Amino acid sequence: MGRQAADRLQNQRGVTYLMLMFAVVLIGITTTAAAKQWKAMVQREREADLLAKGMEIQNALALYSAARKAGRVMPGDIYPQSLVELTRQPKPFLRKVYGDPMARGDWEYLRAPTGGIMGVRSKSRSKPFRQHDFPEAVRHFEGRASYYDWVFQYPNPSMAGSFPQVPAQTPPGAASEPVAGTPPVVPPMPQADVGPSL
């Protein structure tokens, strides 16, 4: 084999090696991008699951408290000691005990001052994709930094102040500032006009 043929073969090997390295790098970049896209897709699905299950638990806590308060003289909300209590027959308030979809385990519980569970939150500190346009029941999640800040609870901060507050009439010359501890006056809900019955 002449020197020119040997040089040509060496050059071909060099080009082949460079092409192989380029292909390996390209495959690595493509695989990394696909893995990131897959991870984001899984997180979005779990995030939607977290919202759905969290709101269901929040609603169950509200129904449980309302049912337990019915007929009681003493004021104050009543909370279950566990989520299992919400699923008990004959009148379950929750279909089943859900786990935390983000952390893939148990929720962190928000305990009521009087005892019982008044809310749940994810143990995940990841940043949510969703930052705006939340359902009405959890609109207080707007702009929260992590899933840990999404607290599904009763009483629900999103529903507080949902009715317009009308100040009480004050006589002329009286102070217009509300008295501390006085609850705001809430007007009655307007009745829907159903029209003439057929």
Instruction: Quick: pLDDT tens for 59-75.
Output: 999 999 999 988 777 87
CA atoms of 86 and 108, how far apart (whole Å): 17
Distances from the Cα of 196 to the Cα of 66, 189, 193, angstroms: 34, 21, 9
Two tokens, residue 1:
């084999």
Q: How many residues can be counted in the chain?
A: 198
**Reading across the β-sheet that carries 117-121, which strands appear in turn?**
108-111, 117-121, 151-153
Selected residue with higher pLDDT from 10 and 191: 10
Among 144, 138, 107, 142, residue whose Cα is nearest residue 124: 107
Whether pTM exceeds 0.85: no
Buried b (16+ CB within 10 A) or exposed e, 97-130: ebebbbbeeebeebebeeebbbbbbbebeeebee
Among 110, 141, 96, 105, residue whose Cα is nearest residue 123: 105
For residue range 4-60, list pLDDT tens digits in order: 766 676 777 777 877 888 777 778 787 777 778 888 999 999 999 999 999 999 999
Residues 6+ apart with CB under 8 A from 141: 128, 130, 134, 149, 150
